[in-house]
Amino acid sequence: MTLLEPRRIDFQAVREVLRAGRATEAWLSGWLPSTWNDPARFQKGLYGSVAEQRGGAIKGRPGTGFDFYHDCVLANVGKKRAALLVHDDRDLLSLSFDSLHERSSALANAWRAAGVKAGESVAIVLPVGIELAVAMVTALRMGLTISVLPPLGPTYVRSRVSRLGVDHVVSSGRHERTLAPDSPLLALTPGSSDASLSASHTYADDDIPLRLLSAFGPNDADPSELSAAALHEALLRDSALVYTLAPGERLAAPGFDPLQMQPLAMLTAWIAGAAWVELEPRHLEADAKVLIKAGVTTLGVSRALRELLLRQGGESVPPGASWFRAMNDVLDYDRWQQLSTALAGRNIFGFALLTSAASGGAHLFAPRGLATSGLRVWPVPGRVYQLSQVGAGTLASLGESGTYTPLAGEEPDASLLEVVLTRDGHGWTLGGSLAIGPEGRTVPGAEIARAAERHPAVRAAAVVVVPGRWMNDALVVLLVFVEPDARGDKAAPAPPAAEILARVRQEMGDRHVPARVAVYALRPRFIDGVVDVAWCRSQYLSGALSARARSPIFAMTARLGWIFGDSQRTT
């Protein structure tokens, strides 16, 4: 198929080729470029194809508005489909679209009674599960702007809710402790169950249904706002041409970063009439058949899950399923190839993608049958992009290599991992990412350090990120500085690393616990009263900190520095 115009693309045929793993590089080059060069025609063809295939079950259209509640929930009501399956550490719990609609109706009535209005904003601070699903679709039903945050810990949540500047916050139970005491809390208590009282909202093209923080980019980056038009097209594109989901199927990604995936992954499943399955790798370790019991048809495989699947010989993946990995995960080639080979022997084939909820879903993909090496990639259909000069923002590259840059706005998209591509034949070769955090994610080093400093024995702390052996591999090290004892003894007792890590875990959640803690009875360099992280990193990597910690002289001068509080003094 080498059709040149997006409006002439047979989307159903394209989808079937992608699902079956029959895509070739030449076939992709026959139609993908036209979708990038003429995104308006691609959009028209995509909407026409979906509307024809689903018999009018999609109400959203550019120029006429988008009813996300109808397209993601109501279109599936009465069809006996599961919307969500959640493992509660004991068993799988299931929520149907019918039940989701009923519970949303009751909650929407309660929120209306509390004065919630369309156009307001809400942060949903809940783990992925039934409560989050009900709150999210209720917010879409009422026309709110939604932010979703995992309740990892008080320091993590409070700083982010503050940055989002929302009108309302939704949480429940023990997760409410992560919120500031004066948070404008909105209850999850349902009101009347009469569904007729709660019509669903239609967002205009430029309305903002989602305002999200990213797992990538600077820690202080502004939240990303997704317009209704951009979000709706992303959901249709990803469901049909990236995940290639069908009604009744089930999508899961155990161990993936919730900030990277949600809420787009869940909405992508729902707009296709599929279900989201919320699991963790530990559930599969406890019950090797949990994926089969959950009926997972499309499985996201993290590095941790990969190792578990290899130990189990791949037998725990349901027959006929497909699997995918995130391009930002650690790319240790041999281990991914072993998994690909093991699953391909059972006719289970993989694909790869680079996705970020805050950047509007998938941007790069390697379809089934072409993802074995992990290095060949293509921009997803309909994305407007360019290759930019490395380190030069949106300045176009002068050659065939550069960073992948979405062109949805005037500024570079900081919510997406920066990756280097080289144009090569019919596709692109992935040359690596510019980030050094684990899985390319941003490390909130300052927040981790402040959490460690809440331990009474810790005088100062800094976080150092050390690149690992593989692409997107990194080691996060917490440097802790304590005061030497009164004698300046280099062997002064230090707080146990476990105690410090417990503090970090309590404030920032498991996902941000450093891999290593190094404790020094020294005093770091300060600049304007703040620990000089660059100095700490260079001194740690050079071994200078370890050498100084063994010297009684440096221990004595460190103690004097703490006593006199000279913020410019170096150990």
Q: How far apart are CA 75 and CA 269, in angstroms?
A: 13
What φ, ψ does residue 242 adopt, rounded to 5°? -110, -60
- CATH 3.40.50.12780 maps onto the chain at 57-228
DSSP letters of 300-342? Answer: E--HHHHHHHHHTTTTTSPTT-EEEEETTS-B-HHHHHHHHHH
Q: pLDDT tens digit string along 67-95?
A: 999 999 999 999 999 999 999 888 899 99
Q: Reply yes or no on whether the pLDDT at 4 is more than 60.
A: no
Structure confidence at residue 193 as a pLDDT band (50, 70, 90): low
Q: Reply yes or no on whether the pLDDT at 5 is more than 60.
A: no
With beta carbons less than 8 A apart as the criterion, state whether 518 and 540 touch: yes
Tell me the average pLDDT across 388-399: 82
Range among 48-52, 204-208, 374-378, 489-493 rated most confident:
204-208
* Angle, helices 497-508/445-452, rounded to nearest 10 degrees: 120
Fold of 443-564: GMP Synthetase; Chain A, domain 3 (3.30.300)
The type of residue at 451 is: A
Q: Reply yes or no on whether the pLDDT at 441 is more than 50.
A: yes
Q: pLDDT tens digit string along 452-468?
A: 999 988 889 999 999 88
Strand pairing class (376-379; 361-366): antiparallel
- CATH 3.30.300.30 maps onto the chain at 443-564
CB atoms within 10 A of CB 8: 11
Structure confidence at residue 564 as a pLDDT band (50, 70, 90): low
More confident residue, 413 or 308: 308
112 burial (CB, 10 Å; 0-12 / 13-18 / 19+) is: middle
Q: Which of 378-382, 432-436, 441-445 has the lowest mean pLDDT?
A: 432-436
pTM of the model as a whole: 0.92
Strand pairing class (250-252; 275-278): parallel
Two tokens, residue 427 = 């596709």
Looking at residue 411, what is its pLDDT? Answer: 62
Work out the percent of the chain whose per-residue pLDDT is above 90. 59
With beta carbons less than 8 A apart as the criterion, state whether 86 and 294 touch: no
The type of residue at 234 is: A
Tell me the average pLDDT across 239-253: 95
Looking at residue 327, what is its pLDDT? Answer: 92
More confident residue, 147 or 556: 147
With beta carbons less than 8 A apart as the criterion, state whether 417 and 432 touch: no
Q: How far apart are CA 559 and CA 481, in angstroms?
A: 11
What φ, ψ does residue 168 adopt, rounded to 5°? -140, 155
Structure confidence at residue 374 as a pLDDT band (50, 70, 90): low
Inter-CA distances, 263 with 31, 214, 221, 256, 558, Å: 30, 12, 19, 13, 48
Nearest Cα neighbor of 97 from 122, 123, 71, 118 is: 71
With beta carbons less than 8 A apart as the criterion, state whether 209 and 146 touch: yes
Q: Reply yes or no on whether the pLDDT at 1 is more than 70.
A: no
Two tokens, residue 344 = 């391909």
More confident residue, 488 or 469: 469
| Mean pLDDT computed over every residue of the chain | 88
Looking at residue 490, what is its pLDDT? Answer: 46
Q: Reply yes or no on whether the pLDDT at 39 is more than 60.
A: yes
For the chain, the helix, strand and coil percentages under 3-state DSSP, each to the nearest 5: 40, 20, 40
Nearest 5°: the CA angle 544, 549, 554 is 95
Greatest Cα pair distance in the chain? 81
Looking at residue 293, what is its pLDDT? Answer: 94
Strand pairing class (474-481; 516-520): parallel
Looking at residue 546, what is its pLDDT? Answer: 87
In the beta sheet, which residues pair with residue 526? 531
In the beta sheet, which residues pair with residue 427? 424
Strand pairing class (526-527; 530-531): antiparallel
Q: How far apart are CA 310 and CA 340, in angstroms?
A: 10
Looking at residue 190, what is its pLDDT? Answer: 83
Tell me the average pLDDT across 40-49: 89
Tell me the average pLDDT across 508-512: 92
Query: Going by CATH, does the domain composed of 57-228 fall within 3.30.70.3290?
Result: no
What φ, ψ does residue 157 adopt, rounded to 5°? -75, -45
Sign of the CA dihedral with 387 first, then 390, 394, and 398 last: negative
